[in-house]
Amino acid sequence: MRPDRDVYRVLFSMAQIDPESVGGAIDRKEQNRLGGMAHLARRLADDGALREDVTEEQAVDVLWMLCSFESFDLLATGRGFSVDEASEAIATIAERSLCR
């Protein structure tokens, strides 16, 4: 896991410092991720799975934040979680935050 994480850390950092440096690859990746989060939030809403006090737009925001590289990296690097442990923690937080 470590080599891939290191590469992503460099790419995400470079995109913050100099967006042109990675040729827009991170921006495209993030736009695709946003589309995926919107799709998931829409499915949760359509299935009636969202809590009554959570809008579809709020669900997109929560999913966007939780499913970011930064969230993963905080758990993997900062807390020493494996990929599976970080994924499980993020999924659990999302479910408890958004779903009935």
Asked if residues 22 and 11 have their Cβ atoms less than 8 Å apart, the reply is yes
Q: Look up tokens 């799709």; give the residue.
A: 39
Indicate the average pLDDT of the chain: 90
Question: What are the residue boundaries of the structural domains of the chain, listed by start?
Answer: 29-98
pLDDT in tens, 10-19: 887 887 888 7
User: Can you tell me the distance from the alpha carbon of 19 to that of 30, in angstroms, rounded to the nearest whole number?
Assistant: 13
Q: Decide: helix, strand or coil at residue 100.
A: coil
User: Can you tell me the distance from the alpha carbon of 19 to that of 90, in angstroms, rounded to the nearest whole number?
Assistant: 27
Residue 1 has pLDDT above 70, yes or no: no
Residues in the chain: 100
pLDDT in tens, 44-81: 999 999 999 999 999 999 999 999 999 999 999 899 99
Q: Which residue has the higher pLDDT, 39 or 3?
A: 39
